[in-house]
């Protein structure tokens, strides 16, 4: 059974890593659209898959966050990737599987998956 006391152990274990994380600069930002349209289209499991993959791979300079409606509701779930110094990449109609693939290829290997991006959506 989980208890609040376990948090103290987690706290002690992660303290040193935390300092690294707050000091980081110029990290990658992954943003998931989490308005009504995104949620209804399945954004929550996409967000969960990204958080899980990022923590499994221990990617320390990646921030996962959420935003409101991006404006293209029919293409939700939408995920945007901001890498410093590069143009934003917008992924559309995401699924947890595509999201995990995106973390591997785009975030880790720095090869954006073109076929999942907004530019390819209406072709």
Partner 1 sequence: MKELSLHILDIANNSVAAGASLVEITVDEDIENNRLSITVKDNGTGMSPEALSGVTDPFSTSRKTREVGLGVPLFANAARQSGGGIDISSQLGEGTVVTAWFMHNHIDRQPLGDIASTFVALVTESANIDFIYRHILYDKIFEADTREIKDKLKQVPINTPEVVLWLKDFIIEGINTLRR
The residues binding partner 1 (CB under 8 A) are: 1-2, 4-8, 10-11, 13-15, 18, 21, 34-37, 39-40, 44-45, 47-48, 51-52, 54-55, 64-66, 68-69, 71
The C-alpha R_g of the chain, in whole angstroms, comes to 16
Report in angstroms how near the CB of residue 44 gets to partner 1 at its nearest: 6
Q: Of 8 and 122, which CB lies nearer to partner 1 in the complex structure?
A: 8
Q: Rounded distance, CA 108 to CA 78, Å?
A: 20
Q: Of 66 and 117, which CB lies nearer to partner 1 in the complex structure?
A: 66
Q: Of 4 and 114, which CB lies nearer to partner 1 in the complex structure?
A: 4
Location of structure tokens 């990658």: 28
Q: Rounded distance, CA 7 to CA 3, Å?
A: 8
CB distance 116 to 80 below 8 Å: no
């Amino acid at each position: 059974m989980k208890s609040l006391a376990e948090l103290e152990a987690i706290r002690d274990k992660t303290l040193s890593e935390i300092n690294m994380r707050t000091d980081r600069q110029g990290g990658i930002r992954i943003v998931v659209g989490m308005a009504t349209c995104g949620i209804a289209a399945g954004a929550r499991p996409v967000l969960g898959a990204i958080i899980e993959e990022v923590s499994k791979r221990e990617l320390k300079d990646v921030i996962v966050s959420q935003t409101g409606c991006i404006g293209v509701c029919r293409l939700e779930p939408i995920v945007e990737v901001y890498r410093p110094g590069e143009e934003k990449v917008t992924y559309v109609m995401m699924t947890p599987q595509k999201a995990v693939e995106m973390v591997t290829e785009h975030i880790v290997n720095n090869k954006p998956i073109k076929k999942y991006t907004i530019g390819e959506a209406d072709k």
